[in-house]
Structure 1
């Protein structure tokens, strides 16, 4: 009986001791697991906060002392890229294909503005040789800038997928080189043209009628045969001039800022400059297409004056009658020999 009680007591003591030892082993493990889970949760929260701050463009610390070196991801850069891809690229596409297509449709429906009395055969001076040289220097460099700019901006969409990597790299390198070096020539020629031709480009009250009858270019309906008064430059040419003057100034300044290597601008300023440059380019591309259509196929005899410097007398009478009358009154018409 005594042995049975003793054995029972010993078993109970061993069981109690085992229970105590088990609790002692489990508690540190559970505590360690809770601590590890807490650390993981804290780390996850800290990482999320860190990357949220980085993506928001907040500054940190870097041993690099360059401008904005403490900013890992620049918010303005991503926003500028989104604006460029969402709005600027489609605007350039519309400026090229939309406006060209609209004028092509107008030409097919309306035809050119023909001379009411045909060509007289007498050619009178309209532009000097210096004017012609200036015009074509500016025009050629403008074309180079437009084509290379379009390649740089949109080439990855309509060129890169269809050529080899080496050819694509060569196209981009050549485009950038041509763009950078044609820019200064354009700026100088643009500035001289603006100064030289500005006195001829002031708007007059009779220019309003030119717009109301669409310059006399429409060959049907109530507008047919309407030839509004015009001085040396008609209202459309004046609009083109001031568009080139204003946006040419912005595109020249922004272009210089983008290529000058010594300028260390904040990222926000660089992105804003790039967007201004692109917006001005889209506007000038659109107006250039309009200018080319109006001066060539839509105006019979119009292109001749910018090639030789002389225009047909009947063309001058029909499209620039006030200028012609002034020259005739002053006996200042210079005919081609």
Structure 2
């Protein structure tokens, strides 16, 4: 009887152990696919994150992808050269432009206050000598006015957002910047045509001579104090300073004209790198021309007594010609081409 009960108890215990082992094995078997699935999902997620990071690194580095869109560089999502060019313009060129405008103007203003204008040693003679033709005056003023318009609108475009945008507010700033861009685009062709005529017509008068070196050494005779006072160097039709201005205008006028055409004609369909290079060349050329234009205006107006009359009427006072352009005066007097105003 005891043995039967013991056997029954052992069989019950064995059945319970089998049940427990079965349940445990089932749990393990059911958990394995879940764990495998979770592990696979984690691997896929990590791989997806790595692939996405690689993708964005490639995009940010400017790599080309595939797109159904047509056009130049349609497969480039982020153009590295464009971003770098924008940073270069904003961080360096724009501050240099502001310095060129305020710095050069300030230096010449200080020089004028300390030195004063270059006076005629023998005063005005009252006899006016023909220096420029009517055609020369038209060429000069068309180019000068278009150049000044381009300067002011260009400065508004480049510096306006840093200087006046906050002061004016959006209601005034929006039409101002739009108008500046429109006027800038239309004044450009006028400048280019007048610039070409100017370069072709005046180039023969702008060759450098050995005596031009002395002009630079004595600062053109414009200094009214110290060892340079009263020094009037030899000069032909154009002095050395005017020649430097002419060749600066010729070289950087070419750069600014070609780059401006590249920027204003969307039909050219240029790569982003070429467009950004054109914008940087245009800006750098503008900085240089603005600085030299300020110098040219100062020299031709307040620093040279009687100088402005030349480009107003085409005539210059005879004493002015003798003092500032003596070799030219001697030449036209010797060959009989000297003509006075009636």
Q: Smaller-chain TM-score range?
A: over 0.9
Structure-1 separation of matches of 2:113 and 2:17: 109
- Displacement of 1:296 in angstroms is 0.9
The answer to whether 1:102 aligns with 2:97 is: no
Please name the residue that 2:263 is paired with: 258
Once the two structures are superposed, what CA deviation does each residue of 1:151-179 show, in whole Å capped at 9, x if it has no partner?
11222111222223232221122111111
Please name the residue that 1:170 is paired with: 175
Aligned residue runs from structure 1 range 65-214, under 5 A: 65-214=70-219
Aligned residue runs from structure 1 range 252-291, under 5 A: 252-291=257-296
Once the two structures are superposed, what CA deviation does each residue of 1:263-319 show, in whole Å capped at 9, x if it has no partner?
111111111111111111111111101101111111111111111111111111111
Runs of 5+ in structure 1 lacking a partner?
A: none
Any runs of at least 4 consecutive aligned residues in structure 1 with deviations exceeding 3 A, and if so which? none
- Displacement of 1:114 in angstroms is 1.3
User: RMSD in angstroms over aligned alpha carbons?
Assistant: 1.4
Structure-2 separation of matches of 1:90 and 1:166: 26
Once the two structures are superposed, what CA deviation does each residue of 1:7-41 show, in whole Å capped at 9, x if it has no partner?
32233222212221221232222211111110111
Query: Normalization by structure 2: what TM-score?
Result: 0.95
The answer to whether 1:246 aligns with 2:256 is: no
Structure-2 separation of matches of 1:94 and 1:282: 9
Runs of 5+ in structure 2 lacking a partner?
A: 1-5
Segment of structure 1 superposing worse, 314-323 or 7-16: 7-16
Once the two structures are superposed, what CA deviation does each residue of 1:245-264 show, in whole Å capped at 9, x if it has no partner?
11111111111122223211
Residue-pair matches, total: 337
- Displacement of 1:83 in angstroms is 1.6
Segment of structure 1 superposing worse, 163-172 or 290-299: 163-172
Please name the residue that 2:54 is paired with: 49
Structure-1 separation of matches of 2:324 and 2:29: 105
- Displacement of 1:207 in angstroms is 0.1
Structure-2 separation of matches of 1:98 and 1:322: 34
